[in-house]
Amino acid sequence: MSRVSIIVVNWNGWRDTLECLESLLRLDYPDFAVVVCDNGSSDDSLQRIADWAVQQGVSIARYRRAEAEAGGDPAERPWLTLIETGANLGFAGGNNVGLRYALARQDAFCWLLNNDTVVEPDALTHLVAAMRQDPAVGICGSTIRLHHDRDRIQALGGGYYHRFLGLPWHYGRFSRWSAAQPLTARAKRRMNYVEGASMLVSRRFLLEVGLLCEDYFLYFEEADWAIRGRGRFTLGYAPESMVYHKVGASIGTSSNPAQKSFTCDFYNIRNRIRFARRYHPLTIPTVYLVLLAEAALRALCGRWDRAGMILRLMANGAGGPELRP
């Protein structure tokens, strides 16, 4: 049996994380361990999660970042490992701490799972089965359904990045699972990234392609990972692996520009520019036309600060100072 490390990044979200961990307790896969990487929370998350582990009677280990990245104590085989990363390292940075820990411990797979998700008991079993069936797969996705409306789809495994628009689009988005099931085969064939709320990654992919790119902080990491592995690995999708996602519980993600948090808007726009410049520089003129339309839309919504933010990011090529929530 191939051992799996389930990596969950927490940032001031211990309630969501505990609900996620509760669902992981019910997994039917026989050989896994959970790694929670805390990104400098200020809400006593680590202690709350540790207290929960004691109440559940599960084994627990706690490490600081340097200890964890060296593999921790090899004699310990805890169900739950809590890692203090020491700061808010973002999605990629927080996950990379957990990935280094798992690699040092020789785990075969790593399942990157958002803390604002809950999973079906057989979700991991289906992911591992899909990876075993096709050794060329480096990253495998799940069916992501909305937590508050479980028949509605967020993504069938992943989606398609439209280079001339600079936009990723999740397959099955806004559709219902009761009607979307015939689309799963097409999603598997056409997707060019795996949705980041649930990604099973092989050890071989990590060793050959490397860890997540930390230049983005939030958003576009999974598209960057997929494009870096292109030609050496394929992407997989396990339709029966069901994950329910609260979508934006941590940072205010929304598809509605009037409802997006500033953090969501900033990183989404900035990283659309960064990703396009890095991998599709010839598309910058069309990407900028789309962004001008988005700036106008923010202005129409009365979000003049957001419109100005978009124009500034375009003017400096998505460089400039970082924003940290």
pLDDT digits (tens, 9 = 90+) for 75-109: 999 999 999 999 999 999 999 999 999 999 999 99
**Same domain membership, residue 233 and residue 268:** no
**Same domain membership, residue 306 and residue 192:** no
Query: What's the predicted TM-score (pTM) here?
Result: 0.94
Torsion angle defined by CA atoms of residues 225, 33, 22 and 150, in that order, rounded to the nearest 10 degrees? 30
Report for 144-158, 171-185, 245-259: range of highest mean pLDDT: 144-158
pLDDT, tens digit (0-9, with 9 covering 90-100), for 181-208: 888 988 988 999 999 999 999 999 999 9
CA 49 to chain centre: 21
pLDDT, tens digit (0-9, with 9 covering 90-100), for 23-63: 999 999 999 999 999 999 999 999 999 999 999 999 999 99
SS3 109: strand
Nearest to 161 by CA among 84, 99, 78, 227: 227
208, containing H or E segment:
helix 203-209
Asked if residue 106 is part of any domain, the answer here is yes
User: Which residues contact residue 186 at a Cβ distance below 8 angstroms, ignoring those fewer than 6 apart?
Assistant: 171
Query: What range does the domain containing 64 cover?
Result: 4-245
**Same domain membership, residue 279 and residue 200:** no
Structure-token pair, residue 56:
């559940």
The per-residue pLDDT of the chain, averaged, comes to 93
Instruction: Provide the pLDDT confidence category of residue 250 given band limits of 50, 70 and 90.
Output: low
Asked if residue 255 is part of any domain, the answer here is no
Check if the beta carbon of residue 16 is closer than 8 Å to that of residue 110: no
How long, in residues, is the chain? 325
Structure-token pair, residue 259:
């409802």
